[in-house]
């Protein structure tokens, strides 16, 4: 698909290759820097349409995230054009910078969690995520790069069985603490102003839906661990995140469970 010809907003500047995604998608940035276009093959068009619908639902709900500019589906490829969120990805910050940005990042995620869950038409609850994990494992499609080091040499079926044993307990917890979740709150998906070190918004919301808040918290904590240079930084960040949620005693077993499940859902 030639974006310059296919999309009317190309009149604001040429579309320049930005990066390629892990599932065959391609991302372009408009020359003026104010919009991005994500292109996917037909096999992932439905998934991209889901991201489009989630962004449309978030509009007007006081969440800093991209807005849908255009949508195109040729049958062979689909394209979603979105406004850009200013700043740089939090993954590009130093440990000290990340620690300063962290409270505003926690507030941004908390703002999503505080949306009315009963008004959200999307769900990514534990039952559906487990079904997804069963499918990925059955196709032998688990990406070992996503697994913790201790699990890389263990059979995927064994990892899935370990998760399944905990399902009854985790389902009860989810029922009592279900919120609107981002779905993939890793550092590349938090945009931060490099000068003020304040979070400017969240991107990549294709997995947004109602779920146990710990599904989000586990990913945010684990992904940030590589950014801390000292144990004190990690402890301060952990405390700040849960303080923003008024959680005085974080459930570490629950965090660990979602870190075991999430790598099995990508594939």
Q: What is the CATH number of the domain that holds 23?
A: 3.30.200.20
Write the pLDDT tens digit of every residue in 13-38: 789 998 765 566 899 999 999 999 99
60 plus 135 within the same structural domain: no
Final residue of a structural domain among 83, 110, 130: 83
Does residue 139 sit in the same domain as residue 173? yes
Contact 205, 54 (CB under 8 A): yes
Mean pLDDT of the chain: 91
Residue 165 belongs to a domain with what CATH number?
A: 3.90.1200.10
| Structure token digits, residue 178 | 């279900």
- Please tell me which residue in 184, 204, 212, 216 is annotated as part of the active site: 184
Residue 78 has pLDDT above 60, yes or no: yes
Residue 150 and residue 236 in one domain = yes
- Shared domain check, 102 and 73: no
Is residue 133 domain-shared with residue 66, that is, in the same domain? no
Q: Are residues 103 and 66 in the same domain?
A: no
d(CA 54, CA 50) in angstroms, rounded, equals 6
In this structure, the answer to whether residues 162 and 260 fall within a common structural domain is yes
Q: Which domain holds residue 29?
A: 3-83
Span 168-226, pLDDT tens digits: 999 999 999 999 999 999 999 999 999 999 999 999 999 999 999 999 999 999 888 87
Annotation marks residue 184 as catalytic: yes
Tell me the pTM.
Answer: 0.91
Same domain? 112 vs 206 = yes
Domain count, the chain: 2
> Do 15 and 107 belong to one domain?
no
Let me know whether 25 and 140 are in one domain. Answer: no
Cβ neighbors of 73 (< 8 A, separation 6 or more) are 45, 49, 79
Residues 106 and 123: their CA atoms lie apart, in Å, by: 22
């Amino acid at each position: 698909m030639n974006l310059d010809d296919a999309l009317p907003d190309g009149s604001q500047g040429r579309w320049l290759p930005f990066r390629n995604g892990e599932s065959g998608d391609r991302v372009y940035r408009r020359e003026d820097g104010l919009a991005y276009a994500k292109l996917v093959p037909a096999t992932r068009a439905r998934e991209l349409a889901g991201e489009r619908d989630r962004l449309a639902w978030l509009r007007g709900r006081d969440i800093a995230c991209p807005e849908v500019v255009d949508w195109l589906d040729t049958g062979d490829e689909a394209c979603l054009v979105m406004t850009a969120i200013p700043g740089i990805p939090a993954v590009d910050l130093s440990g000290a910078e990340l620690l300063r940005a962290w409270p505003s990042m926690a507030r941004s995620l908390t703002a999503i969690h505080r949306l009315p869950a009963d008004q959200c038409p999307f769900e990514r609850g534990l039952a559906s995520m487990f079904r997804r994990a069963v499918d990925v494992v059955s196709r032998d499609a688990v990406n070992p790069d996503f697994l913790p080091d201790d699990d890389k040499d263990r059979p995927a079926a064994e990892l899935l069985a370990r998760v399944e044993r905990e399902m009854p307990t985790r389902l009860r917890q989810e029922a009592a603490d279900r919120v609107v979740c981002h779905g993939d709150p890793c550092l590349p998906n938090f945009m931060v102003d490099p000068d003020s070190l304040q979070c400017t918004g969240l991107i990549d919301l294709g997995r947004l839906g109602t779920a146990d808040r710990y599904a989000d918290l586990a990913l945010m904590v684990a992904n940030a661990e590589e950014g801390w240079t000292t144990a004190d930084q990690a402890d301060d960040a952990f405390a700040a995140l849960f303080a923003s949620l008024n959680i005085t005693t974080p459930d570490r077993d629950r965090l660990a469970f979602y870190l075991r499940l999430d790598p099995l859902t990508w594939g």
